[in-house]
Structure 1
């Protein structure tokens, strides 16, 4: 819920965001309260299972961190946290069904968002109906936030900011690249990203010379890349998801599409992009929601070492270090 009034959810947000600090010299030591139940329907199988797996890793890392400190502090009682997971199989309709189950059967008091804008949009309808707050970090389509929902809280950059930072960077180069091939999967998030690039490019003295959408999770993009190559773009951009980014990068290499800049909305900052493409993953840009160069506040944000220790993905850290930082995180 961006920019909306908090209203009666002040207490709920306090629970979600409370950091477990010291209780203060004049306050009795905290007691132990009842567990707080979070529910999450994430893509553990299906076409977006890689992204869903990373989403779960992030939730689990926070779960370990908060429970090591005794839980969430509310009214001088520390409440341990539980997360109940369901696999939405990369299906937005199933995600909504599972969120309803988490709320009504598993008695989740808060929902953590799924992966992807389509599933987030479906889940937002459910939490609004049931009056259960959902904090989501993987649904960036602005259409999610155009309905006046009071129970959906986004904590990531909106879709229209995902790739405009690449154009800002490109505009500083000499000679400046001026032509763009824009590819997009035909889902709400991807189309919003592509539209934002098309709208923003003229302000940087650039033009779209090829603009085409394709079915999400398309298995073969070679025809699309052949068409883009014919336009001889300086910049190739794709707005889609991990599997599509890998396929497009491979096809560009195979077909000799040699643009000056390649940039994708999702993919380059994930370990599977690097392991799938090897050296061809170098110098491919995206917008990252996190980078170790930025000094975050408050201090409960985890460190690079914490992520590496938890998942042994030091190659992910190196990749993220090279990514562009988006203009806004919220």
Structure 2
């Protein structure tokens, strides 16, 4: 969640340099939820009832956001879920939670409905961490495989924060799928890749959620990251309003490139600012109504637009692939910056 936090702090600095929000200075109160849903819920309740903050923005991860949503709903605080995408959050009838980017179930949609069929890939293995977001991506992948006529040979979860997935990968190797889908974060995406190499797991297409889109993926794996595909909610090259300035100012403030979590956090700030400015005061119900009807462009591809449940429907997700150490947008076609490199060579051929 550090990338998301940095985006919040960038927006805070920008707003205060330009006179604040509604003429008042902006102060971000950021606390560490330790990636724990119970802790996150407790901290948000304290921020609302004891700190008496005027507004809230969402935490990182779907699991923590789901727990926090119960608190913000109880107190009537609209929350932009800048770090969450599991659709279960928007299936619970909440009135105050708004998505910022595509739901997790659609992360592998382009890969499984368009890319894999074009390559005539017929079989898949799906492995995923046993937590809310990865489970959601995996469930979506299963549904997309069914739609595309791709046979799922293996669908298996592994424990949260796993340090060894060799037993799962051995079963993947023995199944010999054309496609390996990983419902993952960065640590397990790296782990799967390393152990797949050790075990000689050789699908024609690798795809991982979250981890494969992060700069740390190639920095950790080097050349072993090549050919891996993954969904990304944003890339620096996207020609969206203000994106070039966002990237430059982020780099200047933090000394590193933003990733899509940074852009999602910044987009949430842009949307919240627009809603509050339109309302003209801190009227939480009026801000909630504005967030429900608002349609606007942000730094993310597509636009901010939600359905009647607050679920994001206007964002355009991307698919990226690591090629010679560079991350290349390969889908959708009108936003692509390069051609797909498939099939993935076997580890012995690299």
Normalised by the length of structure 2, the TM-score is 0.71
Structure 2 spans left out of the alignment, 5+ residues: 261-319, 334-350
Distance 1:321 1:304 in 2: 16
Q: What displacement does 1:173 show?
A: 3.9
Q: Is contact 2:61-2:83 (8 Å) kept?
A: yes
* 1:10 alignment counterpart: none
Q: What displacement does 1:316 show?
A: 5.8
Q: What displacement does 1:88 show?
A: 0.8
What pairs with 1:74-89 in structure 2 (closer than 5 Å)? 74=22, 78-89=23-34
Q: Is contact 1:292-1:321 (8 Å) kept?
A: no
* 1:202 alignment counterpart: 146
Taking structure 1 as reference, are residues 304 and 316 closer, same or farther at Cα in structure 2, changes over 3 Å only?
same
Q: What displacement does 1:274 show?
A: 2.1
Q: Give the counterpart of 1:167 among 93, 112, 126.
A: 112
Q: What displacement does 1:315 show?
A: 9.3
Provide Cα deviations, 1:38-64, integer angstroms capped at 9, x if missing partner: xxxxxxxxxxxxxx2122112122222
Provide Cα deviations, 1:216-274, integer angstroms capped at 9, x if missing partner: 11121111111111111111111122211111111111111111111111112223222
* 2:5 alignment counterpart: 56
Distance 1:223 1:80 in 2: 54
Provide Cα deviations, 1:107-166, integer angstroms capped at 9, x if missing partner: 211111111111000000001111122111111111111122122111111111111122
Q: Is contact 1:193-1:239 (8 Å) kept?
A: yes
Q: 315-324 or 282-291, which moves further after superposition?
A: 315-324
Structure 1 spans left out of the alignment, 5+ residues: 1-51
Q: Is contact 2:113-2:145 (8 Å) kept?
A: no
Distance 1:316 1:292 in 2: 8
* 2:43 alignment counterpart: 98
What pairs with 1:180-191 in structure 2 (closer than 5 Å)? 180-191=124-135
User: Between Structure 1 and Structure 2, which shows a larger proportion of strand residues?
Assistant: 1
Count the aligned residue pairs. Answer: 270
Q: Is contact 1:162-1:326 (8 Å) kept?
A: no
Distance 2:111 2:86 in 1: 19
Q: Give the counterpart of 1:114 among 43, 56, 59.
A: 59
- 2:112 matched to 1:144? no
Taking structure 1 as reference, are residues 157 and 124 closer, same or farther at Cα in structure 2, changes over 3 Å only?
same
Q: Give the counterpart of 1:310 among 246, 250, 253.
A: 253
* 1:19 alignment counterpart: none
* 2:227 alignment counterpart: 283
Distance 2:246 2:331 in 1: 17
- Root mean square deviation, CA, Å: 2.4
Normalised by the length of structure 1, the TM-score is 0.75
Distance 1:278 1:160 in 2: 29
User: Between Structure 1 and Structure 2, which shows a larger proportion of helix residues?
Assistant: 2
